[in-house]
Structure 1
Amino acid sequence: MKSRIPLDSSIFFPFRNLSLRCQGYLVNWDVQRKVWDHLFGKEMFKVDFADTSIIITEPYFNFTSIQESMNEILFEEYQFQSVLRTNAGSLSAHHYFHTNPKELCCLVVDTGFSFTHIVPYCRSRKMKEGIRRINVGGKLLTNHLKEIISYRQLHVMDETHVINQVKEDVCYVSQQFYKDMEIAQQKGEENTVMRDYVLPDFSSIKKGFCKPREEMVFSGKYKTGEQILRLVNERFAVPEMLFHPSDIGIQEMGIPEAIVHSIQAMPEEMQPHFYQNIVLTGGNTLFPGFRERLEAELRSLAPAHLPVSILMPENPITYPWEGGKLLAQNPDYEEMVVTRDDFEENGHCVCEEKFDV
């Protein structure tokens, strides 16, 4: 009996391994094979891949050479029975339309590790003329935070994992940037933005954490042997890059402007539907205040007579994965995939015809 990637036994692999990509595109196939060997190992999945279908995501406008290499590895090396290559945003859109069957349009804002994409969908079909990409993602934010801390306090350029955790634990999106900047310049307890972060020593402290404000020492030094990072305006200045990339010299639009630019590329009669159905996905949306700030800025940029509505899923990171589960149960799923027999007979051209990526 062929496995169709059902429910929790599904094999859905987001095409986002951190160490294998350059600007979001896979560049190291040798290391990628090792990752897949581990992931697809018999110890993890008790299935026969010759009778299994796989859904795998890739970036928008992926290079043909990467797509062809992926086809060959999945079909010829791992011998999957069938493959569906798609974008994470398409799975998010499928999830949204499945949950909201009366809606015809949605705009997926996917801000993840390497970059941010804004993609309009109509009846689960992406509107390519409206796709916008911003070259700002979680990796850039972490690297910028490393540079700031290394310049001001402690050399941490080699501590990507630790500083990424600092970013996730301490940073937030400011609702009033200049007001927060004024607060960050205050001294002592009047500086309500200031936080002290205890770095891990991987011995007694396995994971870093933010000190409770009532335990912070505002003058002098801590008597414990803990290594402390004092974070002030970095907390909100780093996520601000999602809204104003020009702050660090990246001459691109921020997310609110890119959303408006994307929607304006759509037919006028469809634009109200996109403003009312904006879906947030990706890890950067988890910054406290992200949704509120985006909604406020969109409200100021959008036409006054059009309502703006933004959906923040319960888990914006796994939202596409959940869409993949739903897609695998779709009665039309067999029509979307390319089988190994089709690939062996027709080669890469059949994938180009089937996969709209």
Structure 2
Amino acid sequence: LYDNPLMLYIVITEPYFNFTSIQESMNEILFEEYQFHAALRINAGSLSAHRYFYENSSELCCIVVDSGFSFTHITPYCRGKKMKDGICRINVGGKLLTNHLKEIISYRQLHVMDETYVINQVKEDVCYVSQDFYADMAMAQLKGEENTLMRDYVLPDFSSIKKGYCKPREEMNFAGKYKPGEQILRLANERFAVPEMLFHPSDIGIQEMGIPEALVNSIHNMPEEMQPHFFKNIVLTGGNALFPGFRERVYKEVRSLAPTDFDVSVVLPANPICYPWEGGKLLSENPDFDEMVVTRDDYEENGHLICEEKFDI
């Protein structure tokens, strides 16, 4: 939301290639129901790219990986414009990871299929991206204290324990005896097997590329002379980028797939979730911002057509 004494603006994000019917409904809601004076509909990746180019003004290209709740988008940008031939969507996001973790825990330990919020918190607190999947899997099969990956997660009871937490390693009881009333999830290979779906969706039957492979494929769809610039400007955004080890794994796999004479750089912003919002804030302060938006007067005069022309979604 952008406010000044004269006009009320809104910047709102939507997915790439959104359905026309949804776009038109959004226009009606913004201008007719909420009566905004002006609106800008834009992709989250475009705002992230704007933020990145603001900080790295010497760079011509970047490729944004936006791995969020419902899916993962990979989009190359050149001089601030998205390159539609390189846009790639992977139907794996945080929701799928949480649901898969619910199924694993329900099958192995405790029925939690109705506890989406709690298990999402478990995922965020204990899961990480493995740098060597087979080595971690071998470790996860060890018993007792030899298994350094094992963690005990204390579930909330919403009276004395408001929020679940991971027990410190030194407080874990490997004999399986817990305090009265304490409900524990013991997690081992689930910690890294769930985020692994971002890199190998085929593990659960989704016949799509993982993030590193899709990244390289997207770059290869770009003109040859631009490809080195994309490889050295990979930007990770979205909640899944917060998994420990995510940036390192993406770098490692992209480096192995990229031509040896190309530099590879993977950037993880300090707050990958709010990075598009920061880009939107910068965009609203741009002197050309008023040229990007559609005003309510424009909409009332020209209808949806003016939005189609101005919003390159």
Does TM-score exceed 0.5, indicating one fold?
A: yes
Q: CA deviation at 1:225?
A: 1.8
Task: State the alpha-carbon separation in 2 of the partners of residues 275 and 290 from structure 1.
Answer: 17
For 1:342, the aligned partner's letter is D
Alignment partner, residue 36 of structure 1: none
- The equivalent residue for 2:292 is 336
Read off the aligned partner of 1:132 and give its amino acid letter.
C
Residue in 2 that maps onto 1:300: 256
1-side partners of 2:252 and 2:24: how far apart? 43
Tell me how far 1:222 sits from its aligned partner. Answer: 1.1
Q: Does 1:212 align with 2:168?
A: yes
Of residues 280, 286, 290, the one that matches 2:236 is 280
2:86 aligned to which of 116, 124, 130 = 130
Correspondence for 1:26: none
Name the CA distance, whole Å, in 2 between partners of 1:101 and 1:301. Answer: 27
Question: TM-score scaled to structure 2, two decimals?
Answer: 0.98
Counterpart pick for 2:194 among 238, 244, 266: 238
Corresponding residue of 2:127: 171
Q: TM-score, normalised by structure 1?
A: 0.86
Name the CA distance, whole Å, in 1 between partners of 2:159 and 2:107.
27
Give the Å deviation of 1:220: 3.4
- 1:321 is matched with which residue? 277
Kindly provide the amino acid, as one letter, of the partner of residue 337 in structure 1: V
| Counterpart in the other structure of 2:203 | 247
**Which of these residues, 59, 63, 73, is aligned with residue 29 of structure 2?**
73
2:222 corresponds in structure 1 to: 266
How many matched pairs? 313
The partner residue of 1:349 within 284, 300, 305 is 305
Q: Map of 1:54-73 to 2, 5 A cutoff?
A: 54-73=10-29
In structure 1, give the amino acid aligned to 2:310. Answer: K
Q: CA RMSD in A?
A: 1.1
Matching residue's letter, 1:161: Y
Residue 46 of structure 2 is aligned to residue 90 of structure 1: yes
Task: Measure the CA separation in 1 of the matches of 2:160 and 2:125.
Answer: 19
Rounded to whole Å, the distance in 2 between the matches of 1:164 and 1:205 is 17
SS at match of 1:270: helix
C-alpha distance in 1, partners of 2:227/2:148? 41
Deviations 1:279-305 (A, max 9, x none): 110000000000001100011000011
Q: Letter of the 2:57 partner, please give it.
A: P
**SS of corresponding position for 2:73:** strand
Counterpart residue type for residue 345 of structure 1: E
Does residue 290 in structure 1 map to residue 253 in structure 2?
Answer: no
Quote the residue 1:203 is aligned against.
159
Cα shift at 1:96: 0.5
Q: Deviations over 1:42-76 (max 9, x none)?
A: xxxxx88x820110000111010000000001001
Distance (Å, rounded) in 2 between the aligned partners of 1:193 and 1:294: 21
Q: Any idea what the Cα deviations from partners look like across 1:133-156, whole Å, max 9, x if unmatched? A: 000000000000000000000000
Give the ranges of 4+ consecutive aligned residues of structure 1 lying more than 3 Å apart after TM superposition: none
Q: Percent identity?
A: 79
CA distance in 2, matches of 1:220, 1:173: 27
Instruction: Tell me the distance in 2 between the aligned counterparts of 1:308 and 1:168.
Output: 28
Deviations for 1:271-327, whole angstroms, at most 9, x for unmatched residues? Answer: 000000011100000000000011000110000110100111000000000000000
TM-aligned CA deviation for residue 243 of structure 1: 0.3
Find the aligned partners of 1:248 and 1:272 in 2 and give their Cα distance: 33
Q: Is 1:53 aligned to 2:9, yes or no?
A: yes
SS class of match (2:286) = coil
Quick one: distance in 2 between partners of 1:263 and 1:354? 27
After TM superposition, give the deviation of residue 219 of structure 1 in Å: 1.3
What stretches of structure 2 of length at least 5 have no aligned partner? none
For 1:95 and 1:51, how far apart are their aligned partners in 2? Answer: 24
**1:161 matched to 2:109:** no
